[in-house]
Amino acid sequence: MHNEALCGNPRLQVPPCGGKHVKKSSTTKKLLMKCILPIVLSTILVVASIILLKHKRKKVENNLEKGLSTLGAPRRISYYELVQATNGFNEDNLLGRGGFGSVYHGKLPDGEMIAVKVIDLQSEEKSRTFDAECNAMRNLRHRNLVKIISSCSNLDFKSLVMEFMPNGSVDKWLYSNNYCLNFMQRLNIMIDVASALEYLHHGSPIPVVHCDLKPTNVLLDEDMVAHVSDFGIAKLMDEGQSKTHTDTLATIGYLAPEYGSEGIVSIRGDVYSYGIMLLEIFTRRKPTDDIFVGDLSLKTWISGSLPNSILEVLDSNLIQQNGEQQMDKILTHMSSIFGLALNCCEHSPEARINMIDVKSTLIKIKTLIFGRSVV
């Protein structure tokens, strides 16, 4: 009795040897299973949760990046990709050269056609146009502005990657012997440009002055919709600011008197440039044309033709394109169009009409000529 370690043959009425050990071992195993198994399972669940969350977050980030790209957030395009897209900035891909540098067309690996504006970095002033354009276009979104897809910049290279405009500039269509704009196309182009300027002056978070509006800076997409481009000398108007000063001059013939003489920049200067372009597009005469000498200018030439000699100043291509009945209808309203243009070109900035009224007036004229079905 009381000898708990005693064991032997069961017939001796003692516990079999090893029985207590087995029981004790079994109890230990159960205890270990109760403690360790939950810990192991918990660890597996935590690791699995972390992996799942990381996968989900990556998926969300990819969707967000895709969404932002759709909303117009700048894409990352490397210099190497641009070299490949433009065949090494080959002359065969050259669209044109300007005071800022050169523009090339190219094709990205996904098939998207692009225009690459490469800034000439030989002068500090040209380099500043890149910064000005990036600053001006950063927060602008409008169907009648050329979309900036991305930028690529390092110490030796600066460029803007823009959407490609397959139909080129309005200037090309206006003065080439191979192209010709009909009356409705010209009117639509000027309504598009008015819409862009209305947005820049009155619809963007900070008013933007383009400063260099002219036919070469208005590009046409595949549907002949006009898009204003080239914001290299654009100015942002700070809050409460109605005008500023600059030493950078725009193109002669299109700049407002106060801009040319005193360097004063305001949204009314863009209105003046628009008025000159409106006169030009229906007369096919540049403001720097050789016929304008002495006191004769594009403005005075048109002003002297109103209201009875409009045929003498109107682009002859328009007269040849339209029948007598349609031409009579157009001539009835050309006086209003030229009058509107001259209102934009008033010498005094305060006397000039604003772009909201310009756009609405042109839409009314279009409705009167072609009916509501085409508006």
Q: Which residues belong to the annotated binding site for ATP?
A: 117
- Nearest one of 161, 144, 143 to 152, comparing CA atoms: 161
Distance CA 362, CA 87 (A): 43
Catalytic residue flag (residue 238):
no
Given a contact cutoff of 8 angstroms between Cβ atoms, the answer to whether 159 and 116 are in contact is yes
Given a contact cutoff of 8 angstroms between Cβ atoms, the answer to whether 215 and 280 are in contact is yes
Distance CA 299, CA 287 (A): 8
Considering the candidates 212, 230, 270, 315, report the single residue annotated as catalytic. 212
Q: Can you name the residues that pair with 116 across neighbouring β-strands?
A: 104, 161
Residue 108 burial by Cβ neighbours in a 10 Å radius (0-12, 13-18, 19+): middle
Distance CA 303, CA 310 (A): 10
Using alpha carbons only, what angle is made at residue 203 by residues 75 and 263, rounded to the nearest 5 degrees? 95
- Nearest one of 354, 350, 339, 343 to 198, comparing CA atoms: 354
Residue 254, both tokens: 């299109």
Q: Report the relative pairing of strands 148-153 and 208-209 from DSSP bridges.
A: unpaired
Distance CA 244, CA 264 (A): 6
Count of positions (residues) in the chain = 375
Given a contact cutoff of 8 angstroms between Cβ atoms, the answer to whether 203 and 177 are in contact is no
Amino acid residing at 158: K
Catalytic sites, residue numbers? 212
